[in-house]
């Protein structure tokens, strides 16, 4: 029989000084309830195989989104575009393109810097 196990506990999330979540854990109490797939309470199933409460961790900081950390080269960058960059979570992966919220232009993350993605005149 398929079943669901419902456990009471706490989630503790750890944040670094930039406000990014770096780790989370689930601390459970001993109180568990079991339900069948219709949501009805059932007795503890005899066929339960132990599963730890390890939570899926956030992806590494290099791929998780955050507000801009790397420098913005301001040559040719409009104020609306820099404002978009300051307010939009980004990954800062080489080649990432961020479209401006206000105009047709975009920024690109290249050589470790944000810069205008307009072709050079």
Q: Which residues bind Zn ion (CB under 5 A)?
A: 78, 80-81, 100, 102-103, 105
Q: How far is the CB of 121 from Zn ion (least distance, A)?
A: 17
List the beta bridge partners of residue 9: 28
Contacts of 90 (CB under 8 A, 6+ apart): 65, 66, 67, 68, 96, 98, 109
- Residue whose C-beta lies closest to Zn ion: 100
Q: How far is the CB of 75 from Zn ion (least distance, A)?
A: 14
Q: How far is the CB of 102 from Zn ion (least distance, A)?
A: 5
C-beta of 15 vs 102, nearer to Zn ion: 102
Task: Give the whole-angstrom CA distance, residue 102 versus residue 112.
Answer: 24
C-beta of 92 vs 98, nearer to Zn ion: 98
C-beta of 73 vs 103, nearer to Zn ion: 103
- Cα four-point dihedral sign 99, 105, 93, 67: negative
C-beta of 16 vs 83, nearer to Zn ion: 83
């Amino acid at each position: 029989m398929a079943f669901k196990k419902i456990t009471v506990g706490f989630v503790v999330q750890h944040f670094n000084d930039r406000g990014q979540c770096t780790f989370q854990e689930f601390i459970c109490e001993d109180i568990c309830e079991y339900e069948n797939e219709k949501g009805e309470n059932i007795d503890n199933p005899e066929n339960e195989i132990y599963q730890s409460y390890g939570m899926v961790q956030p992806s590494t900081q290099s791929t998780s989104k955050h507000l801009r950390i790397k420098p913005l080269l301001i040559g040719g960058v409009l104020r609306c575009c820099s404002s978009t960059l300051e307010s939009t979570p980004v990954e800062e992966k080489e080649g990432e393109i961020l479209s401006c919220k206000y105009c047709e232009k975009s920024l690109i993350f290249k050589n470790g810097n944000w810069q205008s993605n307009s072709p050079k005149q």
